[in-house]
Amino acid sequence: MTQPATTRWVAPTPRELPEWRAELAEFTTSEPSIVSMRGAILAGHCSIVPTMENAPLDAGTLASVVLNNAERGRLEQAELYYATADMTALALAAAAAPPRERVSVSRLPSESGFIVFEEPIGGYVEDVGAALADTLVARAGVDAKITKPIVAASWTVWTPDDVQVAEGPVTWGYTTSAGYAPIPPGSRGIWVTYYTPRGLLSGLPAETVIGTMRDGSVMTAGMIEAGQRDTPGGPLSWDHEVLLSEGTEFAPARPDTTDVWSHTLYTAWQLMTTAGGTRWAEVEEIPRERAGRKRDARQGITGSSAVRIVNVHTAHRPPREAAAEDAAVSTGRREPSWSCRWPVRPYRRSTCLNPGGHAAGDCQHEDRIVPGHIKGPPGAPLRTGSTVHLWDRQPEADA
């Protein structure tokens, strides 16, 4: 069996985010991107799919054009965020339990956004041979698996009424583990797109067989990697999308799915926007140089070109030694460990915002995240062993 790819995800510097956004927005509506999206739709990898009656294009091509145009619009309007490794680990630690509050657009730090995480917020193993099984390049017996990390997300407040095309009205449907359901007009939610790094096959041995060329010869991981270097494209690849409908509850997460990533992303929004109680995040803003702002404006980007670096507040930030220990064991392909940074995880507490109306049910609740900690006096050693109960005498016979 081919071993999973070992190439680490290396995050850009915060100052690179405006360029990444610009490249990604431009590539999203390119012909190669539309072809790739069409393949994902026909393979059933998209959960939000638009359809039209009497459309001049086939369903797959039309849907890919609509989806890619919408994604470019999200990126052009997005505010930019960079979550440091500590902030990523904190969001993962707090998201070990699903958010208790219902989905609310008021939790968003901005109506549209694009965030890059210094460490992955999750990942999953993809069987490359199985993914290509129904394509022209399929080859029997291919055994190549890669671990795809989720490292970035874009979002916007969304309603199906937002999308208008010249060919006529668009009907939207949503596919989940429970099946397919239409999205009613007028509904409201948060559209989220998740991204993986481009060029993931670079972690496989170059001679690993992936598929078959048109002439029948083998196609290897090294050939694909070389082809990607010569092909224009953004630094990230579209991977999944999800619709968080306003007012819905968060269900327990299925491992290695959008459930896990959405719990973590929503928790990051909570940590960034908490108004009362513990202040979790510190935000540093890095302005973009004037020449870069001009390029963004020429490209049609209306979102701010400044980058907001989101870090854990100094009151809760772990020691550098603890962060370094966790970073040393991180694979850069999956979510990092927080065993050293937060030995006792932060936890959620449901807070009533209107206690006077609580008894009658006329109130609203929101999550407040309570800091993790090490129990005991400061400086005392952390005890992690099991508790032992000692019986020092036999019980009485008539007991």
CA-wise closest residue to 80 among 301, 305, 265: 305
Q: What's the N-to-C CA distance of the chain in angstroms?
A: 61
Task: Give pLDDT, residue 384.
Answer: 37
Beta bridge partners of 115: 81, 153
Residue type, 172: W
Tell me how far apart the alpha carbons of residues 267 and 349 are, in angstroms, rounded to a whole number. 13
Angle at 117 between CA 112 and CA 121, to 5 degrees: 105
**pLDDT tens digits for the chain (399 residues)?**
344 445 788 999 999 999 999 999 999 999 888 888 888 887 777 888 888 766 655 667 778 888 999 999 999 999 999 999 999 999 999 999 999 999 999 999 999 999 999 999 999 988 887 777 777 778 888 888 888 899 999 999 999 887 766 666 788 888 876 778 889 988 999 999 999 998 766 567 788 888 888 888 888 887 877 766 666 677 899 999 999 999 999 999 999 999 999 999 999 999 999 877 788 999 999 999 999 999 999 999 999 999 999 999 998 888 888 888 888 888 888 998 888 888 778 888 888 877 777 667 777 788 888 886 544 444 444 333 333 333 444 445 554
The pLDDT value recorded for residue 206 is 80
Residue 312 and residue 282 in contact, taking contact as beta carbons nearer than 8 Å: yes
C-alpha to C-alpha distance for 34 and 351, rounded to whole angstroms: 45
Give the CA angle between residues 357, 363, 369 to the nearest 5°.
125
| CB proximity list for 337: less than 8 A, separation 6 or greater | 89, 326, 329, 330
- Cβ neighbours of residue 235 closer than 8 Å, sequence gap 6 or more: 12, 20, 23, 24, 197, 198
> Cα(274)–Cα(368) distance, rounded to whole angstroms?
7
Taking the CB of residue 83, how many other CB atoms lie within 10 A of it? Answer: 30
By the 8 A CB rule, do 205 and 2 touch? yes
Q: Which pLDDT value is given to residue 214?
A: 82
